[in-house]
Structure 1
């Protein structure tokens, strides 16, 4: 059975305590577009918000589950410890540094990450984020910022950059990445302000949109997740046909997994790598325009057809979230 290489990051899903504050931060401050306001399909009492480029192209989505009673995060190992967002140029980072100062966003000085300029920052819930420059990037292309964003298009966020995992033991994670998922080891670097070495793995065309960075920190406790933590990272699979091959491969390797999962906007498969980090494989399509047209993405509560008969009950459990401004 021949499998095509994974294409890179598909989306990252994190946890917020407040959908309203989250919406304000990621659209009005970071300038991303809310391309889908829906619910967690496994727990329909919570919002699932998708922020992305102008139409939610795969590889540009940062998503959030609203868990209103979420406690604080205690950072540590066996976690997805950093999400980076791509911006077009090194000059863009200067724009963002000024913007963060203006809006009092907690941020560091511009530094380098695997040879590319980067700006680390935190959102209002201590979500660990960084902007990374695409100026010297080759590989997977980015998306296109929304024309109606408050951020100028020449500096707008164009997709997900490298995602960082922190583990106490590299060997089992490396084995899954290289021997099962087909990633190749492409380098290593030291991270400013942090002990430990970061190993770089890439897939497909490589570059910012197809790298996983793994920080090894045997000295830290295991992370306790809460608001501001990441729930899972998803990787791009070209088609449903390819995804079903992955289902077969994981079964053959006796790796516990969910099997094929219908998500309507894409199709998925979930499993945990040996350090307990949740991975998802997700198809590039169908996309977000099956139930909303391009001009009105994210304006209403969108429900997959198999939840429509529950709409009244679902809406009654959600706090109103105005996303038309």
Structure 2
């Protein structure tokens, strides 16, 4: 049977306690483009925002659910513990370090991780991220920096970096990543493994950490909801549905999210999605005004008036001078 390989990371979805603050943080400080402002298709009373590269390319988007009554999450094991973003080189990290100082962003300074330079930082709600330098990187190609963003194109974030997962059942989880998801360990140290996904490199890697002593994480704002890995097309995701069935891994079945097709499976505590690269975010809005109005997939369009009456509007129009 055809078993298409994963290409790399598709997107990471986290939870915020304030869609407006989160929007300003991602666009005005990080310099990522809001490419879609829509609602959570499974909970239409809440926003789902997508921040990505200039054109919303697969492998570049960090997305957020805004659950207004969600409690704050708590850090711990058995969770997706950190998302990352790619920048072109080490000089870009220096640029962002100065920028974080300017904007009062909590950070841990530039460090080294598996031979790459990184800059760990946090959002106000405690969500953890890091920038990673592509200085010596090979593998999954990056996206396109936001052309009209506040960060110079030669310094700007242009893709997702390695996703960090921390679990207590480290060996078992690593086996599943290898045998089911086809990941390849490339660096193994005590209680941490770096695995390549698909073409590998910063846009196709998982950092798996062991923590069997600490408390278990609790879902809520400031925590990651799920990670998604890239598949080429419908045939590929259909083959993955069969693969899950053969492996007796419970899953959602294929879900049409309009912007991509998705398939969800929970491995231990970790919600893993595989998603198609297309059709993408450019089909229902002009490039120039991506993310400026509330976008709804066709099956929700008939409920637009109701949805707009229920969710608190916020202005995402940009200056087009």
Q: TM-score, normalised by structure 2?
A: 0.97
Instruction: Select which of 213, 227, 236 maps to 1:219.
Output: 213
Aligned to 2:35: 35
RMSD after superposition: 0.9
Alpha-carbon distance between aligned partners in 1 of 2:120 and 2:312, rounded to the nearest angstrom = 32
Alpha-carbon distance between aligned partners in 2 of 1:206 and 1:252, rounded to the nearest angstrom = 26
In the alignment, is residue 204 of structure 1 matched against residue 210 of structure 2?
no
CA displacement, residues 222-277 of structure 1 (integer Å, 9 cap, x when unaligned): 1012111000000000011110000011011111100110000000100011x210
TM superposition outliers: structure 1 runs of 4+ over 6 Å: none
Alpha-carbon distance between aligned partners in 1 of 2:278 and 2:29, rounded to the nearest angstrom = 28
State which drifts further: 264-273 or 169-178. Answer: 169-178
Q: TM-score, normalised by structure 1?
A: 0.96
Instruction: Select which of 307, 312, 315 maps to 1:319.
Output: 312
Flag structure 1 segments of 5+ consecutive residues without an equivalent: 190-195
Alpha-carbon distance between aligned partners in 1 of 2:109 and 2:304, rounded to the nearest angstrom = 46
3-state SS of 2:303 partner:
helix
CA displacement, residues 190-231 of structure 1 (integer Å, 9 cap, x when unaligned): xxxxxx632111121110000011010111111012111000
3-state SS of 1:209 partner:
coil
Aligned to 1:233: 227
CA displacement, residues 74-115 of structure 1 (integer Å, 9 cap, x when unaligned): 101110001010000001111110000000000011101111
Q: 2:162, 2:207 within 8 Å by CA — same for their partners in 1?
A: yes
The CA deviation at 1:177 is 0.7
Matches within 5 A, 1:1-325: 1-189=1-189, 197-273=191-267, 275-325=268-318
CA displacement, residues 136-172 of structure 1 (integer Å, 9 cap, x when unaligned): 1100010111111001111100110000000011122
Alpha-carbon distance between aligned partners in 2 of 1:226 and 1:263, rounded to the nearest angstrom = 23
Q: 1:38, 1:302 within 8 Å by CA — same for their partners in 2?
A: yes
